[in-house]
């Protein structure tokens, strides 16, 4: 009995300490969009390109990239909502909570399907922005 308990505890420890699986990560690329890193995101921000934050309301309230427009993916993200904040022919950046968040990749897929032509996928999102010491609201 003691030996089987020790084996079970050892297996549980291995499983619970396993790294996040590849299936849990957001895609590295989205068809029709350009994946950007923190350096390119900051350059686009400096150029005045609209940033769309598709995180939850609670995440938005906790902090965001200055001037970003909030269109919560699961509640408000529609072609009409996008048309109010971005032009289909101009650049637009989507972000969420980093590589374990799928919201920005999903938003990019939708935006591309709606005819947005210059879509940027900031996969590393808000955590990378904050870590880089860039301005926050």
Query: What DSSP assignment string belongs to 89-135?
Result: TSEEEEE-SSTT--HHHHHHHHHHHTT--EEEEETTHHHHHHHTT--
Domain layout of the chain by residue ranges: 23-131
Q: Is 93 exposed, middle or buried (0-12, 13-18, 19+ CB in 10 A)?
A: buried
Predicted pLDDT at 69: 98
CATH 3.60.40.10 for domain 23-131, yes or no, is no
CB of 47 closer than 8 Å to CB of 80: no
Chain centre to alpha carbon of residue 7: 39
Q: Which portions of the chain are predicted below pLDDT 50?
A: 1-20
Q: Is 26 exposed, middle or buried (0-12, 13-18, 19+ CB in 10 A)?
A: buried
The token duo for 47 is: 């150029």
At residue 74, what are phi and psi to the nearest 5 degrees? Answer: -80, -15
Predicted pLDDT at 22: 57
Predicted pLDDT at 92: 98
Measured CA angle at 136 (ends 132, 137), to 5 deg? 170
Predicted pLDDT at 91: 98
Closest CA to 53 of 84, 77, 23, 26: 77
15-51 residue pLDDT tens: 333 344 556 899 999 999 999 999 999 999 999 999 9
pTM for this one?
0.83
Predicted pLDDT at 74: 96
The token duo for 18 is: 């396993």
């Amino acid at each position: 009995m003691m030996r089987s308990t020790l084996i079970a505890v050892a297996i549980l420890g291995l499983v619970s300490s396993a790294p996040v699986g590849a299936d849990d990560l957001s895609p590295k690329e989205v068809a029709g969009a350009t994946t950007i890193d923190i350096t390119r995101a900051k350059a686009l921000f400096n150029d005045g390109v609209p940033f769309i934050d598709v995180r939850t309301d609670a995440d938005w309230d906790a902090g965001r990239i200055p001037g970003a427009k909030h269109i919560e993916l699961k509640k408000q993200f529609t072609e009409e909502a996008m048309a109010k904040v971005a032009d289909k022919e101009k650049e637009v950046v989507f972000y969420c909570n980093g590589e374990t968040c799928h919201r920005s990749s999903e938003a990019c897929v939708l935006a591309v399907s709606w005819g947005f032509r210059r879509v940027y996928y900031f996969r590393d999102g808000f955590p990378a922005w904050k870590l880089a010491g860039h301005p926050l609201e």
